[in-house]
Structure 1
């Protein structure tokens, strides 16, 4: 239908209706596998499937609009500039969501380019989906953790003492501790400590400085 409308305007000499329909069908199938099956194997933000689908469909449409006729280079950059304005601002947006968003855009780019051999598009989509299937395996999940960010009111000469001090002040030994910032002016050290996650707790938590306890 889209191709027929564009053909009526005389700008689809580079896109045939059959080619557009074939690529659109491949994009839908790949999207169903990626979002409908692979992504839904794990708990996620309820709105993320909608985000992934709209990004894919929007980029697919933009690629076809750019390829449909003689567009100035500025128009193409403008369309992708508009897409770059989209920001996903959600506390539940994880690195896994970033990966799936990237794969969603890659599939849209591969299927959105006209006059490409069908076997090439199918091969690229299949390779991407199989890679996601193998890497994002729920059976290999590590126990969930949460990050606690603390500001320690001292500078440590011996880095090995940081984990001990964090355990003493927070009340539990951390799984790991990373130093984020050392301020020699204020004599503070900002660290991120990882702890086993407890159901219902946030993924990250900021802790204000506590009084330094000194041994007598």
Structure 2
């Protein structure tokens, strides 16, 4: 009976994670399908392995290989990798029907809560990051920081130069800064910048 309750709990947890946390914040339908598919797939196969003669270690090893292939086949943001492995973990917890039911439910709830809190837009709301293409070739870091500070409208915290093109007179740089305005106002100010910016 525990297996049924754990399966239902897993479906509820992945539903909350995908439809109440991930999709309203990031709006990527393709990854929504991927998270749901990998979760239900892990749940189904883990449940089958637990109730068969096959070793659970073999099944988990196969899923580890599949997850690496999947992650290498599509470029994901670090926050999306966290959601991906959360979906895997929820499926494993739901498929191991021999686990203590209250403990498993608590672990599932904690996992969803941690991901929701860590990915909250309110957490470090002033910290921003962008990949910026400047219309000038800057080799001096102090000058580059000054230009970036006026471009992004905030205090530059970290700069990583990706490419300096002396022929086309451009600089591609990954900049992280703390905005002097709330994040909602920052987006409006970026429309007035005289540079080309591409979200990282």
**Normalised-by-shorter TM-score class:** 0.5 to 0.7
> Partners of 2:70 and 2:136 in 1: how far apart?
37
1:169-188 alignment to 2 at 5 Å? 172=151, 175=154, 176=156, 177-180=158-161
Rg larger for = 1
Instruction: Give the Cα–Cα distance (whole angstroms) in 1 for the partners of residues 64 and 127 of structure 2.
Output: 39
Find the counterpart in structure 1 of residue 14 from structure 2. Answer: 31
How many residues are paired up? 175
Find 1:163's aligned residue among 138, 145, 161: 145
Deviations 1:74-106 (A, max 9, x none): 56533532343213525xx43322222222112
Q: Deviations over 1:142-166 (max 9, x none)?
A: 476531256986754xx434324x5
Structure 2 CA distance for aligned equivalents of residues 144 and 61 of structure 1: 40
Q: What is the alpha-carbon distance in structure 2 between the residues aligned to residue 74 and residue 179 of structure 1?
A: 42
State the SS of the aligned residue for 2:97. coil
- The residue aligned with 1:67 is 50
1:61 CA drift (Å): 1.9
* TM-score (norm: length of structure 1): 0.62
Which residue of 2 is the match for residue 77 of structure 1? 61
Does the Cα contact within 8 Å between 2:128 and 2:176 map onto a contact in 1? no
Q: Does 1:89 align with 2:35?
A: no
Runs of 5+ unmatched residues, structure 1: 1-17, 184-188, 205-216
1:89-168 paired onto structure 2 within 5 Å? 89-90=74-75, 93-140=76-123, 141-142=125-126, 145-148=129-132, 156=140, 159-164=141-146, 166=147
**Once the two structures are superposed, what CA deviation does each residue of 1:104-148 show, in whole Å capped at 9, x if it has no partner?**
112112222121111111111111222233333334444765312
Equivalents in 2 of 1:33, 1:105: separation in Å? 15
Verify the 8 A CA contact 2:162 2:174 in the aligned structure 1: no
| Contact residue 179 and residue 191 of structure 1 kept, 8 A | yes
Deviation at 1:56, TM superposition (A): 0.6
Q: 2:174 aligns with which of 187, 192, 201?
A: 192
Unaligned residue ranges in structure 2 (runs of 5+): 165-170, 178-185
Shift of 1:190: 6.9
Task: Return closer, same or farther for 1:107/1:151 CA change in 2, 3 Å cut-off.
Answer: farther
Partner SS, residue 147 of structure 1: strand
Kept after mapping to 2: 8 A contact 1:174/1:194: no
2:3·2:98 contact (CA, 8 Å) conserved in 1?
Answer: no
